[in-house]
Structure 1
């Protein structure tokens, strides 16, 4: 294993440890009641180190799950220019939702904790919106290059549409679980996609 790979692995481990500490503290004492120093102390790092990884305490709770994020990167690398983009993005989202295993897998439990917390913590929701915008912009540019187009309107529309539909499904899923009437995440996403198509069909 090369030194570069080891460094990256250590970096991701530290990032995950800081993220776990932030999320737990936010659940226990709220975002406003938690400081960067609190998070750094709980993660066993300095505040200086914290800011090498995250621009704010809220962003620390939004660390993607490493293995799932790597799988997403592989799927995005396999997208092709000669198939409808929205359809391919929906396939990517389906595989992500399968990996979440209706909240039973590690990334599924992590996502559920974050989404629950976002509902009661406006600062965390705002941070998530900003982070999502950054990721959307990066993905749109990646897809613009893949498609070989100068205008990013098509890729942006496909990425935004796919993200909105899955976001609605995730919120419905999390709300239903909290209300004691759980729904299946994949089935909820499939229904959201069906309703979207019905709404735009002639």
Structure 2
């Protein structure tokens, strides 16, 4: 079993606080030393798929369409990136869903993500600033609003997926974009 998978499995059964790095390493069949070569904390190990999700979102930042507003450019970039998650039965989609269900239940993981969001937003502001000749306020608003729409879509998708196997992240994001500006 890989380290991230072991962390997720243990967090699902015992919770984050009750799980130790030693237990994760043992379940993964590695030493604690090996664990720490890959991850700084047990929380980081469980969030690998979330970081991959954010990397996918960030991959299109150098291609933002400067012919539209910064917000529309970011949202179009996010929408394009989310096509990776179109197939609800794909491994990537199922892992993202699984980690987000755990995040929803675990305040420790939410706190890690809240701290990381500061750096992510700064990266987005920097990327948008390089492509658009706008005020800092307009760029910050574009980033914050775009992230809020994405977060609402992601959380709604996670909730819907519990009762609706056909729930689709890109479609939920498209709906969130529409509803956000009504």
TM bin (shorter chain): 0.7 to 0.9
Q: 2:49·2:95 contact (CA, 8 Å) conserved in 1?
A: no
Out of 167, 178, 191, the position equivalent to 2:162 is 178
Residue 36 (structure 2) pairs with residue 35 (structure 1): no
Q: Which residue of 1 aligns with 2:103?
A: 118
Change (3 A) 1:138 1:197: same
Q: Which residue of 1 aligns with 2:5?
A: 20
Q: 2:153·2:172 contact (CA, 8 Å) conserved in 1?
A: yes
Q: 1:30·1:121 contact (CA, 8 Å) conserved in 2?
A: yes
Q: 1:143·1:155 contact (CA, 8 Å) conserved in 2?
A: yes
- The C-alpha deviation readout for 1:27-56, integer Å capped at 9, x for no partner, is 232212211122233334443443444332
Out of 139, 142, 145, the position equivalent to 1:158 is 142
Deviation at 1:69, TM superposition (A): 6.2
Give unmatched runs, 5+ long, in structure 2.
none
Q: 1:103·1:112 contact (CA, 8 Å) conserved in 2?
A: no
Q: Which residue of 1 aligns with 2:118?
A: 133
| Distance of 2:58 and 2:171 partners within structure 1 | 24
Residue 160 (structure 2) pairs with residue 168 (structure 1): no
TM-score of the two chains, using structure 1 as the length reference: 0.74
Change (3 A) 1:156 1:48: farther
Q: 1:59·1:128 contact (CA, 8 Å) conserved in 2?
A: no
Between 124-133 and 175-184, report the one with greater CA deviation: 175-184
Deviation at 1:66, TM superposition (A): 8.5
Q: Which residue of 1 aligns with 2:92?
A: 107
Q: Which residue of 2 aligns with 1:197?
A: 181
Out of 29, 32, 39, the position equivalent to 1:47 is 32
Change (3 A) 1:127 1:184: same
| Distance of 1:58 and 1:115 partners within structure 2 | 13
- The C-alpha deviation readout for 1:115-168, integer Å capped at 9, x for no partner, is 11112211112212222322222222232234367x643322212211111111
Residue 130 (structure 2) pairs with residue 145 (structure 1): yes
| Distance of 2:92 and 2:79 partners within structure 1 | 14
- Structure of higher RCO (CA pairs closer than 8 Å, 6+ residues apart): 2
Q: Which residue of 2 aligns with 1:14?
A: none
Give unmatched runs, 5+ long, in structure 1.
1-16
1:27 match: secondary structure: helix
Q: Which residue of 2 aligns with 1:187?
A: 171
